[in-house]
């Protein structure tokens, strides 16, 4: 009997000591250099500590391209990717292909994230992704140039255009012909949906759909917002801003060729990096309001980590997701990359705040941020967004007026709504 117990004890000890079968997990994450590096470092640390292997694949640059890639991957039941980095607008459309994490991640780990993001990632009671970082559009400006010209940080888009033109004119007269006043994301893609939604919401024009799914986009406020933005192209913004994505705007600003830039927080860390010519010259503020009737509006962005239902290594994939979404990793990414945590406590962390002084303000911006209508449009969101950015892009490029283009858009969205019944 004693022997039996001893033998059982030894067997148990062996089972405990023996590492679980090592798995290899493939994650797709990050595009921009620093972002990709931070993801790789985190994933490799997890692999080392857990005795597993990890393969890190760079994601495609554009959110909308990633979406169609994931949609295709999941539709084919492809098992080559275990962990996917998904945009805040995709949980509802991709839910069927993703693992329900609600019973597989301890409740205290779910509850430490901002409740609104957990709610966003919960589709029909299934938690389809853990929040990784959140995002909101911000106004980056050349602190040195504003000081030199004694111009305060603009509070309305009108003030922004005036300041941009004054400084652009002075810079050019001083022998810097490549300087423009304002850069943003004007390419026809999801980034333009974010920018145009900010303009429209700032002018009091709502968020494309109302909360009950009605189409509200064809309004005088939206017309004013889009025609205002179109007036910037070629005057304070380069004509090819209609081909700019995040990195194009960031690189133009980093070279000293823009006074103001609309971008996401990640740009801060890259601009402040050792050796960056802009280090110490950049300020970050909330985006302007439309006019005296408008409001400061930022589009809510952000990324989640999800596990594919077709993964053959689900247990290990979930471990990796939990590790990357943990407070330690979110803090490291916030300090080194300005990725805004989804864990509220980190906004009080002295190291996080020291690395990102604007995070104090970002908290307020995030609370008031405008969500794209992905919850309302569900699986039709990609279609809706494509129609919306095409309208904004045509208007910026001078094809048709804001008034006509928005009326056409409203008609198209109505057809989409009737067909899909959102």
Write out the residues near ligand GLC by the rule CB under 6 A. 63, 87-88, 135, 190-191, 194, 246, 264, 301-303
Closest separation between CB of residue 160 and ligand GLC, Å? Answer: 21
For 330, the token pair is 């979110």
Question: What distance in Å separates the CA atoms of residue 22 and residue 112, rounded to the nearest whole number?
Answer: 29
**HSE value, Cβ hemisphere, 13 Å, CA-based, for 265:** 32
Closest separation between CB of residue 396 and ligand GLC, Å? Answer: 16
Angle at alpha carbon of residue 57, lines to 54 and 62, rounded to 5°: 145
Closest separation between CB of residue 6 and ligand GLC, Å? Answer: 57
Question: What distance in Å separates the CA atoms of residue 314 and residue 158, rounded to the nearest whole number?
Answer: 52
Closest separation between CB of residue 404 and ligand GLC, Å? Answer: 26
User: Of the two residues 90 and 310, which places its CB atom closer to ligand GLC in the complex?
Assistant: 90
User: Of the two residues 36 and 104, which places its CB atom closer to ligand GLC in the complex?
Assistant: 36
Closest separation between CB of residue 292 and ligand GLC, Å? Answer: 29
Q: Looking at beta carbons, which residue is closest to ligand GLC?
A: 301
User: Of the two residues 303 and 323, which places its CB atom closer to ligand GLC in the complex?
Assistant: 303
User: Of the two residues 25 and 88, which places its CB atom closer to ligand GLC in the complex?
Assistant: 88
Closest separation between CB of residue 56 and ligand GLC, Å? Answer: 18
User: Of the two residues 25 and 271, which places its CB atom closer to ligand GLC in the complex?
Assistant: 271
User: Of the two residues 238 and 301, which places its CB atom closer to ligand GLC in the complex?
Assistant: 301
User: Of the two residues 26 and 63, which places its CB atom closer to ligand GLC in the complex?
Assistant: 63
Pair 74, 94: CB distance under 8 Å: yes
User: Of the two residues 87 and 218, which places its CB atom closer to ligand GLC in the complex?
Assistant: 87
Closest separation between CB of residue 366 and ligand GLC, Å? Answer: 12
Question: What distance in Å separates the CA atoms of residue 43 and residue 55, rounded to the nearest whole number?
Answer: 8
For 316, the token pair is 């290990």
User: Of the two residues 89 and 223, which places its CB atom closer to ligand GLC in the complex?
Assistant: 89
How many other C-beta atoms lie within 10 A of the C-beta of residue 124? 9
Question: What distance in Å separates the CA atoms of residue 300 and residue 291, rounded to the nearest whole number?
Answer: 21
Closest separation between CB of residue 302 and ligand GLC, Å? Answer: 5
For 378, the token pair is 């569900």
Closest separation between CB of residue 267 and ligand GLC, Å? Answer: 11
């Amino acid at each position: 009997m004693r022997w039996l117990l001893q033998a059982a004890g030894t067997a148990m000890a062996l089972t405990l000591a023996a590492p679980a079968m090592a798995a290899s997990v493939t994650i797709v994450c990050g595009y921009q250099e620093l972002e990709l590096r931070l993801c790789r470092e985190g994933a490799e640390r997890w692999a080392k500590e857990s005795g597993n292997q990890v393969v890190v694949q760079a994601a495609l640059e554009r959110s909308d391209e990633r979406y169609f890639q994931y949609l295709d991957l999941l539709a084919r039941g492809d098992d080559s990717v275990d962990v996917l980095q998904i945009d805040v607008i995709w949980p509802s459309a991709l839910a069927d292909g993703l693992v329900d994490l609600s019973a597989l991640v301890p409740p205290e780990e779910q509850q430490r994230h901002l409740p609104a993001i957990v709610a966003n990632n919960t589709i029909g009671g299934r938690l389809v992704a853990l929040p990784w970082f959140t995002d909101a559009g911000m106004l980056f400006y050349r602190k040195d140039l504003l000081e030199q010209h004694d111009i305060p940080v603009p509070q309305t888009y009108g003030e922004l255009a005036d300041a941009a033109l004054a400084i652009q004119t002075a810079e050019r007269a001083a022998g810097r012909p490549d300087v423009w006043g304002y850069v943003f994301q004007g390419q026809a893609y999801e980034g333009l949906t974010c920018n145009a939604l900010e303009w429209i919401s700032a002018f009091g024009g709502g968020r494309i759909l109302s909360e009950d799914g009605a189409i509200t986009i064809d309004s005088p406020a939206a017309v004013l917002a889009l025609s205002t933005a179109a007036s910037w192209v070629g005057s304070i913004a380069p004509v090819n801003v209609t081909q700019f994505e995040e990195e194009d705007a960031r690189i133009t600003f980093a070279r000293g060729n823009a006074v103001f830039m609309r971008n996401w927080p990640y740009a801060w860390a890259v601009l402040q990096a050792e050796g960056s010519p802009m280090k110490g010259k950049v300020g970050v503020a909330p985006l302007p309001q439309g006019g005296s009737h408008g409001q400061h509006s930022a589009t809510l962005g952000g990324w989640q980590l999800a596990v594919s239902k077709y993964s053959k290594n689900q247990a290990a994939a979930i471990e990796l997701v939990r590790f990357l979404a943990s407070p330690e990793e979110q803090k490291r990414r916030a300090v080194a990359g300005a990725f805004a945590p989804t864990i509220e406590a980190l906004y009080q962390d002295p190291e996080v705040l020291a690395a990102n002084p604007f995070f104090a303000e970002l908290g307020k911006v995030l609370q008031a941020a405008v969500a794209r209508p992905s919850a309302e449009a569900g699986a039709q969101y990609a279609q809706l967004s494509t129609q919306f950015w095409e309208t904004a892009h045509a208007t910026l490029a001078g094809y048709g007026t804001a008034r006509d283009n928005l009326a056409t858009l409203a008609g198209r969205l109505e057809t989409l709504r009737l067909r899909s019944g959102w």
